Structure 1
């Protein structure tokens, strides 16, 4: 292991996507991530295509670089085992509501008693100081709560609709990984652990409103909310003679070049609507209509050649299938075809960042349920006899170790 978080141990009590995505990032960065699962396993294990039960594609892409241990936390023996893991851990991260952790007697105060240096991280729906504190939260609900479907309709969709990605889960997962890294740095400097809460609603509200608060930023307001360029219904992949193309002309130089390409080189000087970025933003609909009208005059390949020759921003429109064959991703080694110990040949995605030192690496492929229960419990001081008793009581589940 050579990642920058080598030597950090994380007790990961998260399930589904948001928390597991965060801890996979931390695991790829070198942390020893112990995934604590209930006897039934993480529910996302069986979501989508799979060769074997409990090992679906979405699970494989959010749970590598981890070890799996099963603990029934409703049993005293299971809770005791969790406490023994937490006693030697640097981080405990969970994504159920804090009220559920309190019912298990696994709140921050309970954990800090046995390990005052621990970073205790909650990743859940809503901050605990408001009326939504006890509400359940899922990606779709949070997208709706921060107006993403309404923005889609304002931008031209027939009806409000969610983004076709678990966007809130993954964005908040990134925020949680950042919080863990910063919390560890603070502890390194001060020696002090602490509780950190990363609420979905507030995190996503900041994400969306950073673009769209607009004139409502000021008191009193000086204009409407909404970023006009992003909301314009012509802000979309544009039809060419034979397909679609993604273009974005933004600064003065790019718009000047575009106007020259379409035979109006003096338009920025003759039309005050297009003279500055501020005026162009006010009249973005007219500009985008102009671009949309001219794109069908050439093929996609012809536009790419012309625009790239002028060093102007352009990108082909991928589908998921064509993205998997993208030549750039192939050249940088983004996709790795690996042999999973139980699932056979799978396509894995590399760690996207590159480091001149302490390079992250994928330490393990996603584990089977309880694959590392025996090993992790042994590290926590349990004897072979003790582990067998835990398994017999149902407080843990053992799976054969992969060799």
Structure 2
């Protein structure tokens, strides 16, 4: 496989979302990836098989019981010739498998350790929803459609892997890079925590030029907060920047007509699309 990581070897034990997101991105960059799954498989395979297949493209998937001594020796052999090792388990589980010091045995290895929490809370259970719950990014009782922390955690793991490969290429020993999903959630929440996207904030509903409106046969999202976009739109349609005025305007035309207007005047207006099988 060609790409900037061609020739690099990735071994991943990570299941669910952040680790597989990272492995998919690194594989797309040209790395050879071996994913080792437990006998029960990756839970993602059972809940969202199509997403599982998407995140596994081009990878060598192997089922291995790491509780078996011989199986762990096979893993050690793989790590001896690998560049990046991805795990996503609590520190105690990593220690029980004897993998917490993998970089000491394999100095060329970069270990990406994805965990939920750090410090005194290192063994605390968590998932995307509970990480988000701590930082005021949820609307009770709505469950978010996008697992933002898992996705961004995967991207942080990719960045850490690239840094690790670069460090080793410069003659430095490999080391463990810990990706803490609780910290990822806090960083992701910064726009809300600092008054940009929370309820009543400029991008949270206060500015009528940035929002979602009913059209005649659906919904459109508009993002005309930059002066030149709004100047064009208001000049053409004589619109006032109020929720009421824009609601009355957008309901007059079907979605397709608003999309044509967006193309014609170079405006950020988009159709709000439903997921397959969901009503519009």
What TM-score does the superposition give when structure 1 sets the normalisation length? Answer: 0.63
Q: Is 1:308 aligned to 2:263, yes or no?
A: yes
Equivalent pair of 1:9/1:90 in contact (CA under 8 Å): yes
Q: 1:160 to 1:38 in 2, by over 3 A?
A: same
Residue aligning to 1:126: 117
Deviation at 1:8, TM superposition (A): 0.6
Residues 194-246 of structure 1 deviation map (CA, whole Å, 9 limit, x = unaligned)? 1100011101211111x123269xxxxxxxx8771222176543111232112
Q: State the structure with more CA Rg.
A: 1
Aligned partners of 2:193, 2:274: CA distance in 1, in Å?
32
Q: Counterparts of 1:95-134 in structure 2 under 5 Å?
A: 95-108=88-101, 111-127=102-118, 129=119, 131-134=120-123
> Structure 1 residues 215, 296: CA separation in 2 closer, same or farther (over 3 Å shift)?
closer
Instruction: Write out aligned runs for 1:125-144 (5 A).
Output: 125-127=116-118, 129=119, 131-144=120-133
SS at match of 2:56: coil
Instruction: Identify if the C-alpha distance between structure 1 residues 113 and 172 changes in structure 2 by more than 3 Å, giving closer, same or farther.
Output: closer
Residue 260, structure 1, aligned to residue 249, structure 2: no
CA displacement at 1:180 relative to structure 2? 0.6
Match of 1:214 in 2: 194
Are 1:231 and 2:204 counterparts? yes
**Structure 2: distance between partners of 1:197 and 1:12:** 15
Q: Are the counterparts in 1 of residues 136 and 192 from structure 2 also a CA contact under 8 Å? A: no
Instruction: Give the SS at the match of 2:86.
Output: strand
Q: Is the Cα–Cα contact under 8 Å of residues 18 and 153 in structure 2 kept in the other structure?
A: yes
CA–CA distance in structure 2, aligned partners of residues 213 and 43 of structure 1: 33
Report how many aligned residue pairs link the two structures.
Answer: 275
Residue by residue over 1:313-342, the C-alpha shift from the partner in whole angstroms, topping out at 9 and shown as x without a partner, is 1112222239xxxxxxxxxxxxxxxxxxxx
Q: In the alignment, is the contact (CA less than 8 A) between 1:34 and 1:68 conserved in 2? A: yes
Match of 2:145 among 146, 151, 164: 164
RMSD across aligned C-alpha pairs, in angstroms? Answer: 2.4
CA distance in 1, matches of 2:224, 2:176: 45
Q: Is the 8 A contact 1:121 1:196 kept in 2?
A: yes
Tell me if the contact between 2:110 and 2:165 (Cα under 8 Å) persists in the aligned partners: yes
**Aligned mates of 1:140, 1:213 — CA distance in 2:** 17
What is the DSSP-based 3-state SS (H/G/I as helix, E as strand, rest coil) of the residue aligned with 1:318? coil
Conserved? CA contact 1:92–1:121, under 8 Å: yes
Cα deviation 1:4-53 (Å, max 9, x = unaligned): 111111111111121111101111211111111122222222224xxxxx
Given that 1:47 and 1:58 are in contact with CA atoms closer than 8 Å, whether structure 2 keeps it comes out as no
Distance 2:54 2:72 in 1: 28
**How far off its partner does 1:190 sit?**
3.2
Contact 1:97–1:134 at 8 Å: present in 2 too?
Answer: yes
- The answer as to whether partners of 1:144 and 1:162 remain within 8 angstroms in 2 is no
What is the correspondence of 1:353-372 to structure 2 with a 5 Å cutoff? none
Residue 318 of structure 1 is matched in structure 2 by 273
Q: Are the counterparts in 2 of residues 124 and 137 from structure 1 also a CA contact under 8 Å?
A: no
Change in Cα spacing, 1:16 to 1:306, as seen in structure 2 (3 Å) is: closer
For the 8 Å contact 1:93–1:123, the answer to whether it is kept is yes
Measure, in 1, the Cα distance between the counterparts of 2:227 and 2:20.
43
